[in-house]
Amino acid sequence: HEIGDKVLVEIADVLRQFAVRHGALVARYGGEEFAAVVTGRSHEQAARGAEEIRRDCAARTILDGVTQLPVTISIGFTVKEAGFDLGNLMRTADQALYAAKRHGRDRVEHARDAA
């Protein structure tokens, strides 16, 4: 648990810095999941932002005794281009997150919102 907590602290710091740079709202969403809301971004801009977060996490390590462990993150995102249905948006992003985990972790997956 101690290492997991340290990883969460590092990821939270990366997300905090991302939020400051991009005017995002970031919150912990469940045990080890976070959600970020960024408005006014195209799908391509959102993809670049998600990859920026993944890359910034990958640049960090956690010390476990004498071993440096990498910080990795799996990210799923979606973009809502018209209207706003938060429940559908979160379900769609969550599906993309689990696709990222299934496809090897430490990666970004996207899903277009169906509604």
Whether residue 11 is predicted with pLDDT greater than 50 in this model: the reply is: yes
Catalytic-residue membership of 109: no
pLDDT digits (tens, 9 = 90+) for 34-47: 999 898 898 899 99
Q: What is the pLDDT of residues 54-102, one digit of tens each?
A: 999 999 999 988 999 999 999 999 988 677 788 888 899 999 999 999 9
The pLDDT value recorded for residue 110 is 92
Question: Which is the CATH superfamily of the domain at 2-112?
Answer: Reverse transcriptase/Diguanylate cyclase domain (3.30.70.270)
Whether the per-residue pLDDT at 113 is higher than 70: the answer is no
DSSP assignment of 48-105 equals: HHHHHHHHHHHT-EEEETTEEEEP---EEEEE--SS--HHHHHHHHHHHHHHHHHTTS
Phi, psi of 35 (to 5 degrees): -125, 140
pTM of the model: 0.89
Instruction: Please report, rounded to a whole number, the percentage of residues in the chain having pLDDT higher than 90.
Output: 65
The answer to whether 99 and 109 are in contact (CB under 8 A) is: yes
From the list 10, 32, 44, 52, the catalytic residue is 32
The per-residue pLDDT for 21 is 96
